[in-house]
């Protein structure tokens, strides 16, 4: 047998600690007028249909400058015109007339007129072609062309969120001629839109090069080109930014922001996201059907401190089931940390401490199975550890079950018989920014609580009043009535506490000082649409 050196093992252990280091490519310095964006996710496909823009959110970020949509979200998630100069919803919310901008052309020179828009909407309605984002497109039943610059979109049922759908990334208007030329399969690698930048070269998974489109209806964009480059490792992205190899980076981990904020050449852009993180309670468990218990659990966790300490202030405690920038958000409560009150509530609910300090009721211990993913939500494992330790302080045993992130969604979306968790960490990102869409996805009663949840009501929350309010919120003709109903629904859900509400994280991006106009949208995306480079 060959003699092994003692150092092999020791060196191996050292190697282990160096595992995250990735190969650093030699980056060329960025050229004048061209913005280089170091993205945390690779751009793989650029077609709003066939699985939409991937990867998420990298593909959408590229799509935001490559394509125009009929409507757009501004920085505050208000809906503003883009290819449509104006729109008018009918009183019954079952049709919408849009007046299109005239003289707009796609990058291939073909006109972006009513016929092209009709082609696009019908393409997105087609379940065979457009497989994702179905809740956004299913309510649409048809499109009528009135003249060259006017179309009417018809819906099968009242659908107040139509403007959100049209402003959503998947509402990108593509060139019908290009679909014809490259085929349904080839378009994703050869995208042609009507946005301010056109395709120059595309190496899927690595680099996407766009250049300014001279014929853009809104005038020349702020940069002569944009290069999207995939840099997976956060530390590498930060190095690339500080050395000037890239101008913009996204997904700066909050514990690394400190490194950048001291640098005078770099500007940080931050924005609370639309995805509130929380722990869904499994309401099919008899113990958790008691609202006193759910409220006590909410009181026992120092959410504001988690936001402040674990996320270095780049997170906030929620004040509603919706995130602050969701359309229709209303402040309906506040997160309170009061373990004495939590204990009092638990006593009121009939729990008393057993021999080992764990609470019990009728001889049954209050032990909760707590599922959390590893690396799916910001700081998920650390937050889970803090929650478990806090609950233990009031006598609740919460055993963490850390699940590999790829397998996590399957555990959440189970039928009742196979639900292994009592509490599970979850966050929903309403990609069309609609609060109604968000609440309906999470809290509208399932058709059958024994089966898999219809959308994401994994908690099996069931409240007829909330169902009725959500119905009003999506179909009342008056916008104010819709918002009132949505506000009331938020208040009811907050009171019922089907979740242990945790934090709302901020999206953090950074840019060199030569770049201005960088935007971070609450829906994760970092947008370069209005960015320019000196």
Partner 1 sequence: MHEVTPARPARRRRGVNVFLWLGVSLLAVFALLALFGEVVAPHDPNAQDLFAMLEPPSAAHLLGTDNVGRDILSRIIVGTRYTLSIALASVLFAGIGGVALGAIAGYFGGVTDRVVTGIIDLLLTVPNIVLAIAIASVAGSSATGLTIAITASFIPPLARLVRGRVIELAQEDFVAASITVGMSHTRILLRHILPNAATVIIIELSLNAGQAVLIGSALGFLGLGVQPPAPEWGTMLGASREYLTMAPHLVIAPGIAISLLVLAFNAFGDGLRDVFDPGSSS
Q: Per CB under 8 A, does 256 bind partner 1?
A: yes
Q: Per CB under 8 A, does 232 bind partner 1?
A: no
- What number of other Cβ atoms are within 10 A of residue 3's Cβ? 4
Q: How far is CA 266 from CA 239, 263, 314, 521, in A?
A: 12, 6, 18, 19
Place of tokens 């059958």: 448
Min separation Cβ 481 and partner 1, Å? 43
Q: How far is CA 290 from CA 254, 282, 296, 445, in A?
A: 37, 11, 10, 18
From 1, 264, 340, 447, residue interacting with partner 1 (rule: CB under 8 A): 1
User: Which is nearer to partner 1, 19 or 355 (by Cβ)?
Assistant: 19
User: Which is nearer to partner 1, 432 or 503 (by Cβ)?
Assistant: 503
Residue (of 362, 423, 358) closest to 393 by Cα position: 358
User: Which is nearer to partner 1, 152 or 336 (by Cβ)?
Assistant: 336
Spatial contact of 506 and 315, defined as CB atoms under 8 Å apart:
yes
Q: Per CB under 8 A, does 4 bind partner 1?
A: yes
User: Which is nearer to partner 1, 403 or 520 (by Cβ)?
Assistant: 403
DSSP-derived 3-state class of residue 142: strand
Pairing state between β 225-230 and 34-39:
parallel
Q: How are the residues of the chain apportioned to helix, strand and coil, as percentages rounded to the nearest 5?
A: 30, 25, 45
User: d(Cα 386, Cα 370) in Å, to the nearest integer?
Assistant: 12
Total site size for partner 1, rule CB under 8 A: 42
Min separation Cβ 268 and partner 1, Å? 16
User: Which is nearer to partner 1, 403 or 469 (by Cβ)?
Assistant: 403
Q: Per CB under 8 A, does 255 bind partner 1?
A: yes
User: Which is nearer to partner 1, 146 or 389 (by Cβ)?
Assistant: 389
Min separation Cβ 245 and partner 1, Å? 18
Q: Per CB under 8 A, does 338 bind partner 1?
A: no
From 34, 79, 344, 400, residue interacting with partner 1 (rule: CB under 8 A): 400
Candidates 64-72, 316-324, 400-408, 503-511 — which segment interacts with partner 1 by CB under 8 A? 400-408
Q: Per CB under 8 A, does 17 bind partner 1?
A: yes
Candidates 3-11, 219-227, 358-366, 487-495 — which segment interacts with partner 1 by CB under 8 A? 3-11
Torsion sign (Cα): 402, 407, 408, 414: negative
Spatial contact of 389 and 300, defined as CB atoms under 8 Å apart:
no
Q: Per CB under 8 A, does 309 bind partner 1?
A: yes
Min separation Cβ 6 and partner 1, Å? 5
- What number of other Cβ atoms are within 10 A of residue 495's Cβ? 12
From 174, 293, 403, 473, residue interacting with partner 1 (rule: CB under 8 A): 403
Pairing state between β 84-89 and 95-100:
antiparallel
Burial class for 376, CB neighbours closer than 10 Å (0-12, 13-18, 19+) = middle
Min separation Cβ 375 and partner 1, Å? 7
From 111, 253, 333, 354, residue interacting with partner 1 (rule: CB under 8 A): 253
From 188, 248, 310, 327, residue interacting with partner 1 (rule: CB under 8 A): 310
Min separation Cβ 402 and partner 1, Å? 5
Q: Per CB under 8 A, does 25 bind partner 1?
A: no
- What number of other Cβ atoms are within 10 A of residue 177's Cβ? 16
User: d(Cα 55, Cα 276) in Å, to the nearest integer?
Assistant: 22
Strand positions, DSSP E, 55-139: 71-73, 79-81, 84-89, 95-100
From 258, 262, 286, 363, residue interacting with partner 1 (rule: CB under 8 A): 258
Q: Per CB under 8 A, does 260 bind partner 1?
A: no
User: Which is nearer to partner 1, 6 or 28 (by Cβ)?
Assistant: 6
DSSP character at residue 26:
P
Q: Per CB under 8 A, does 339 bind partner 1?
A: no
Q: Per CB under 8 A, does 480 bind partner 1?
A: no
Listed in sequence order, the DSSP H helices in 199-302 are: 234-242, 257-261, 291-300
Q: Per CB under 8 A, does 10 bind partner 1?
A: yes
User: d(Cα 247, Cα 326) in Å, to the nearest integer?
Assistant: 29
The CA radius of gyration of the chain, in Å to the nearest whole number, is 25
User: Which is nearer to partner 1, 138 or 233 (by Cβ)?
Assistant: 233
Peptide bond into 531 cis (omega under 30): no
From 149, 209, 401, 522, residue interacting with partner 1 (rule: CB under 8 A): 401
From 270, 402, 413, 416, residue interacting with partner 1 (rule: CB under 8 A): 402
Task: Give the HSE-up count for residue 515: Cα atoms under 13 Å, Cβ half-sphere.
Answer: 31
Report 367-396 residues binding partner 1 (CB under 8 A): 372, 374-375, 381-382, 384-386, 388-389
* Residues of the shown chain interacting with partner 1 in the complex, contacts defined by CB under 8 A: 1, 3-4, 6, 8-10, 12-14, 16-17, 19-20, 234-235, 253, 255-256, 258-259, 302, 305-306, 309-310, 372, 374-375, 381-382, 384-386, 388-389, 399-404
């Amino acid at each position: 047998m060959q003699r092994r050196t003692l150092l092999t093992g020791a060196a191996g252990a050292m190697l282990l600690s160096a595992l995250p280091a990735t190969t650093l490519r030699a980056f060329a310095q960025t050229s004048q007028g061209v913005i280089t964006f170091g993205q945390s996710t690779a751009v793989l496909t650029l077609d709003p249909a066939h699985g939409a823009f991937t990867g998420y959110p990298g593909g959408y970020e590229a799509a935001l400058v490559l394509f125009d949509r009929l409507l757009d979200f501004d920085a505050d998630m208000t809906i503003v015109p883009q290819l449509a100069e104006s729109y008018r919803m009918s009183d019954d919310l079952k049709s919408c007339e849009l007046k299109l901008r005239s003289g707009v052309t796609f990058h291939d020179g073909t006109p972006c007129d009513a016929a092209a828009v009709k082609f696009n909407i019908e393409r997105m309605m087609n379940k065979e072609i457009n497989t994702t984002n179905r809740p956004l497109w299913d309510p649409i039943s048809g499109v009528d062309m009135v003249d060259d610059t006017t179309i009417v979109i018809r819906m099968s049922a009242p659908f107040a969120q139509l403007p959100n759908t049209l402003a959503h990334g998947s509402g990108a208007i593509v060139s019908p001629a290009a679909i014809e030329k490259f085929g349904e399969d080839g378009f994703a690698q050869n995208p042609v839109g009507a946005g301010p930048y056109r395709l120059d070269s595309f190496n899927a998974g690595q680099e996407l090069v766009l250049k300014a489109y001279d014929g853009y209806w809104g005038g020349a964009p702020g940069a002569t080109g944009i290069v999207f480059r995939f840099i997976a490792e956060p530390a590498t992205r930060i190095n690339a930014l500080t050395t000037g190899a890239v101008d913009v980076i996204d997904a700066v981990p909050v514990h690394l922001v400190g490194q950048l904020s001291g640098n005078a050449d770099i500007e940080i852009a931050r924005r609370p996201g639309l995805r509130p993180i929380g722990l869904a309670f499994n309401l099919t468990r008899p113990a958790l059907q008691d609202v006193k218990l759910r409220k006590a659990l909410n009181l026992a966790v120092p959410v504001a401190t988690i936001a402040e300490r674990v996320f270095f202030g780049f997170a906030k405690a929620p004040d509603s089931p919706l995130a602050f920038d969701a359309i229709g958000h209303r402040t309906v409560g506040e997160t309170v940390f009061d373990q004495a009150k939590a204990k009092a509530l638990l006593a009121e609910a009939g729990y008393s401490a057993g021999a080992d300090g764990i609470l019990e009721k009728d001889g049954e211990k209050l032990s909760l199975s707590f599922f959390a993913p590893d690396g799916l939500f910001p700081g998920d494992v650390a937050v889970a550890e803090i929650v478990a330790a806090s609950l233990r302080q009031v006598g609740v045993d919460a055993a963490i079950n850390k699940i590999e992130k790829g397998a996590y969604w399957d555990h959440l979306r189970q039928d009742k018989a196979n639900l292994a968790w009592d509490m599970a960490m979850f966050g929903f990102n309403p990609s069309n920014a609609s609060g109604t869409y968000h609440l309906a996805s999470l809290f509208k009663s399932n058709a059958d609580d024994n089966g898999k949840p219809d959308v994401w009501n994994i908690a099996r929350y069931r409240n007829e009043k909330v169902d009725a309010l959500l119905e009003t919120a999506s179909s009342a003709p008056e916008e104010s009535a819709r918002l009132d109903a949505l506000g009331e629904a938020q208040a009811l859900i907050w009171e019922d506490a089907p979740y242990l509400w945790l934090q709302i994280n901020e999206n953090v991006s950074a840019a060199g000082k030569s770049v201005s106009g960088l935007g971070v949208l609450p829906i994760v995306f970092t947008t370069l649409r209005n960015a320019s480079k000196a």
